[in-house]
Amino acid sequence: MRFQSYLVFSILLISFLPATVTAEPKQQTIAALVQRAEQGDAQSQFILGLKFVNGQLQPKSYIKAKRWFRKSAAQGNADAQVNLGVLYYLGLGTTQDFKKARQWYLKSAAQGNAEAQYNLGLLSVNGESIAIDFKVAAEWFLKSAENGNAKAQNSLGVMYFHGKGVKKDLTEAYIWMNLSAAQGNQQAIKNRTQLITQLDPKILLEAQDRSKEYYEKYVNPFQ
């Protein structure tokens, strides 16, 4: 049986605009956002970068997105740092550079950003900018999983199933896949369904009980 991990990089689609701002006329809202960004507000710079990525500002421009992400990232904005890393990883608006991607992921991950931690795990799995190292990958997936990242939870479950970077443990595999599935991760749902057929009923009951404990620690606080 082959289990798959949801190994996909994605640019964060996050909006931090408060309701009071979104209620303003569109042009006024954008103008105010640009003004704040030009004045050096890191969060406004990050949001402006997202709008260029998402096409909410036309023409859509990864080059302009990179410019604003970089300004925000330089001020320590963790979300801007991971998104800048993704642009470097995918070669959007810049030359593809896994090493620079990793550098920005590390800055973001150091602040506890779960997406950056997950992406660092992927770099270790794929051997991009560094040698393939499943142990290091598992460590990053664990950090991300404990911060509520559903993709990392599924990936960690897959590693426990295969015994890659961690000791093979079907109970742990089920628990992490189950947490990911509870957050709607479709690949985790498929993996969990297959794994259940291999588990002894008593072990399954134990894993389900422990899942409740893990859920309160590693999912519920991030909802």
Q: What is the CA 132 to chain-centroid distance, rounded?
A: 20
Residue 54 backbone phi and psi in degrees, to 5: -85, -5
Which of 94, 90, 84, 71 has its CA nearest to residue 115?
84
- pLDDT tens per residue, range 5-14: 433 333 343 3
The pLDDT of residue 8: 37
The pLDDT of residue 24: 40
Amino acid in the structure at residue 51: K
Q: Quick check: 3 pLDDT over 50?
A: no
The pLDDT of residue 26: 58
- Listed by start position, the domains of the chain span 10-104, 133-223
% of the chain beyond a pLDDT of 70: 87
Which of 145, 202, 207 has its CA nearest to residue 170?
207
- pLDDT tens per residue, range 106-132: 999 999 999 999 999 999 999 999 999
The pLDDT of residue 94: 96
Of the candidate ranges 18-22, 162-166, 175-179, the one whose mean pLDDT is the lowest: 18-22
Half-sphere exposure of residue 125, counting CA atoms within 13 Å on the CB side?
23
Q: Contact 196/161 with Cβ under 8 angstroms?
A: no
What pTM, to 2 d.p., does this model score? 0.88
Superfamily of the domain at 10-104 = Tetratricopeptide repeat domain (1.25.40.10)
